[in-house]
Amino acid sequence: EIVLTQSPATLSVSPGEGASLSCRASQGVHTNFAWYQQKPGQSPRLLIYGASVRATGVPARFGGSGSETEFTLTIDTLQSEDSAVYYCQQYDIWPWTFGQGTKVEIK
C-alpha cells in the first residue's frame, strides 16, 4: 500500500503568518490527492481535492499544489480557527491511505 509521510509533525505559527505543510507519497499518485482539516472533537473536513482544487466553502487562504509524490498545503494569513490537524490522502491506488497528520498550533 502507498505510504504517505507528512512533515512537520507539529507547526507553531503566529496569527497572520503563513504555513506550508508537506506530504510525500511512497509512489506516484498523479493528482489523485486530497487534504483534510480535523479540529478536536470534530469529523474531518475536506479542504482540497485533485491536489489543488478547493472544496466548496473553503477559504481562499488554503491552497494545494504538487503531483505524483510531492504535495504541499499552504495556508496564507493563518487565523486562530485554523488550529487543527491536517491530513493528506491519496485515492489513486486502493487501499486509499492517509498521512499521519500535521498539527498546526497558533501561537
Partner 1 sequence: VQIVQSGAELRKPGASLRISCKTSGYTFSSSSMHWVRQAPGQRLEWMGWINHVNGNIKYSEKFLGRITITRDTSANTTYMDLTALTSADTAMYYCAKQGAQWLAYLDSWGQGTLVTVSS
Answer for which of 101, 102, 104, 106 binds partner 1 (CB under 8 A) is 101
Q: Which of residues 30-89 bind partner 1 (CB under 8 A)?
A: 32, 34, 36, 43-46, 49-50, 55-56, 87, 89
Q: How far is CA 12 from CA 24, 53, 63, in A?
A: 21, 25, 19
CB of 33 to partner 1, least distance (A): 8
Q: How far is CA 24 from CA 4, 15, 74, 80, in A?
A: 6, 26, 15, 27
Closest to 24 (Cα-Cα) out of 63, 73, 84: 73
CB of 46 to partner 1, least distance (A): 5
In this structure, the strands spanning 53-54 and 45-49 are antiparallel
Answer for which of 24, 65, 91, 103 binds partner 1 (CB under 8 A) is 91
Q: Catalog residues that contact partner 1 under the rule CB under 8 A.
A: 32, 34, 36, 43-46, 49-50, 55-56, 87, 89, 91, 94-101
